């Protein structure tokens, strides 16, 4: 799976608090990555959070249907544009026009209820 590399930026790259994301839900945050600012999807399950770039590999468009609003169903994330369906655990497209392709993962760390970009 592809992992982004990040430029050295502010020492604390806080994205949001764990409590800002409903358990079992998702949100989008903007962060400065090596090639500019990108939208990142944060998916929460209990105290665990995984993150992907908010870009569908099928057409390069955002996955949310409105800023920060995602279609989630039975452990999957569904692209609002063409219906590509991704397993939230690993980012693999399991149905739709880009079956077998991956969302690009973003490394995180959760510390004391805060979610940070990992170095």
Q: What is the pTM of this model?
A: 0.85
Domains of the chain: 21-114 (2.102.10.10)
Cα–Cα dist 77/71, whole Å: 6
Q: Which of 1, 3, 23, 2 is nearest to 118 (CA)?
A: 3
Percent of the chain residues past pLDDT 90, beyond the cut: 80
Cα–Cα dist 38/107, whole Å: 14
Cα–Cα dist 41/53, whole Å: 6
Cα–Cα dist 30/56, whole Å: 16
pLDDT at 32: 82
pLDDT at 119: 67
Percent of the chain residues past pLDDT 70, beyond the cut: 86
């Amino acid at each position: 799976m592809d992992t982004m590399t990040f430029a050295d930026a502010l020492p604390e790259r806080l994205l949001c608090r764990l409590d800002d994301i409903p358990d079992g839900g998702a949100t989008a945050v903007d962060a400065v990555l090596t090639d500019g600012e990108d939208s990142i999807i944060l998916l929460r399950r209990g105290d665990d959070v995984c993150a992907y770039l908010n870009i569908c590999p099928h057409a390069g468009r955002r996955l949310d249907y409105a800023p920060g609003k995602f279609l989630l169903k039975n452990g999957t994330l569904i692209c609002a544009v063409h219906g590509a369906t991704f397993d939230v655990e690993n980012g693999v497209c399991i149905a739709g026009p880009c079956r077998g392709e991956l969302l690009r993962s973003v490394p995180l760390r959760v510390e004391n209820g805060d979610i940070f970009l990992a170095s």
